[in-house]
Amino acid sequence: MVEPARSEPGEPVAAPRRRRAAREWPLVLVGAGVAAGLLVLALPDPQAHPDAFRVGLGIVGGSMALAALLRAVLPALRIGSLTARSRVFDVVVLALGAAAVVVLAFTVPGIPPA
């Protein structure tokens, strides 16, 4: 019987995959926030909840702001797939995107009552 390859003494080869998956928690957290915001946007009746789009987009914008904060604070080895370019570029683009989404969500006129 062949012993599985080990990356460190006493550690099976599957452990690096688990560590890589554990590094993706920032992306999962931000993705969950965006999904929650989109769910708030999709579910309610616009006539019954006229400000649901503001709340949903506020959650999406907040998730983008969280992504910018995490990208600014966490080291490169901990950020996982949330990195695209340099740290400064990622933070600026995410922060500007978050600000744009939140500003637009709260400046768009609401649905007029029927």
Spatial distance between the Cα atoms of 22 and 32, rounded to a whole number of angstroms: 16
Determine the pLDDT at residue 1.
56
Q: What is the mean pLDDT of the chain?
A: 83
Spatial distance between the Cα atoms of 9 and 97, rounded to a whole number of angstroms: 45
Determine the pLDDT at residue 13.
57
Spatial distance between the Cα atoms of 101 and 112, rounded to a whole number of angstroms: 21
Structure tokens at 84: 């695209």
Give the global pTM: 0.77
Residues 44-78 have pLDDT tens digits of 777 778 888 899 999 999 999 999 999 999 988 88
- Give the helix, strand, coil percentages of the chain, each rounded to 5: 70, 5, 30
Spatial distance between the Cα atoms of 76 and 24, rounded to a whole number of angstroms: 12
